[in-house]
Amino acid sequence: MGRTVVELFYDVISPYSWLGFEVLCRYQQIWNIDLRFRPAFLGGIMQQTGNKPPAMLPKRAEYMLKDIKRMAKYYQVPVHMSGDDFQRILATSSLAAMRFITAIDMTNQQYLEPLSREFWMRFWSQHEDISQPENILAVARQAGLTAELSQKALEMISSPTVKDRLKETTAEAIKYGAFGMPAVVAHYDGEPHLFFGSDRLELLGSVIGEKWLGPVPS
């Protein structure tokens, strides 16, 4: 029986995407899946679907703060959340970062996983900027990219090729029904199955006939 293709549409501005990303990285060694990372732009998804950031509702923001702290501990992912993070998200555009990740996806895919992880680490663990060119290059250095490779990818972010690829991936996520991130799409039994959020991975396992062993399977 072939491997089930599982696509993860994500944006590094989303802490829940990081949780889902790490758990799926663990499960790609356990489940019979072909995990594919699909960097997309959360801002574009929100705009095109008419969605609003959940933290704009004060009571929900209050809950999310506690929720992400609990989930970070449970999932064993170093998301460090504080009350002013919602303002930080609204003040930060992830467009340049996601274009940079897209450029690496198109040219040096072997760096896609460590690079994405370092963007989350910088923004969500170290609370540092990921939007400015010098900070994007710092993230790339941490992920093990050479200065030459990083500079080339940075130059690519203003190219129509990279811009179009990111737009296309974002449009694809919306086509599957995504309205936020992470959006996980499992291609099983001849059709795509969309799962929204990092807390639906147990359900994903159930649908594709795989056993859930918790967020940190041993």
What secondary structure letter does DSSP report for 110?
G
How many structural domains are present in the chain? Answer: 1
Decide if 94 is inside a domain. Answer: yes
The answer to the question of residue 130 being in a domain is yes
Instruction: Determine which of 22-31, 86-95, 209-218 has the lowest per-residue pLDDT on average.
Output: 86-95
Decide if 138 is inside a domain.
yes
**With pLDDT > 70 as the criterion, what percentage of the chain qualifies?**
100
pLDDT band of 19, cuts 50, 70, 90: very high
C-alpha 45/C-alpha 50 separation (Å) is 8
Specify the pTM. 0.96
Structural domain contains residue 65 = yes
E strands of 158-212, at which residues?
183-188, 191-196
CATH code of residue 118: 3.40.30.10
Mean pLDDT across the chain, nearest whole number?
Answer: 96
Residue 215 lies in a domain: no
Task: Report yes or no: 181 and 116 within 8 Å, Cβ to Cβ.
Answer: no
- Give me the catalytic one of 14, 17, 94, 198: 14
What is the distance between the alpha carbons of residues 12 and 102, in angstroms, rounded to a whole number? Answer: 12
β-pair partners for 193: 186
Specify whether the CB–CB gap between 187 and 4 falls below 8 A. Answer: yes
Domain of 156, in residue numbers:
4-208
User: Domain for residue 218, yes or no?
Assistant: no
Residue 84 has pLDDT above 90, yes or no: no
Task: Give the separation between CA 75 and CA 9, rounded to whole angstroms.
Answer: 19
Answer yes or no: 14 catalytic: yes
pLDDT tens per residue across span 184-206: 999 999 999 999 999 999 999 99
Residue at 105 is within a domain: yes
Percent of the chain with pLDDT over 90: 89
Residue 1 has pLDDT above 80, yes or no: no
The average pLDDT across 106-113 equals: 98
**Residue 109: exposed, middle, or buried by beta-carbon count in 10 A (0-12, 13-18, 19+)?**
exposed
* 213 lies in some domain: no
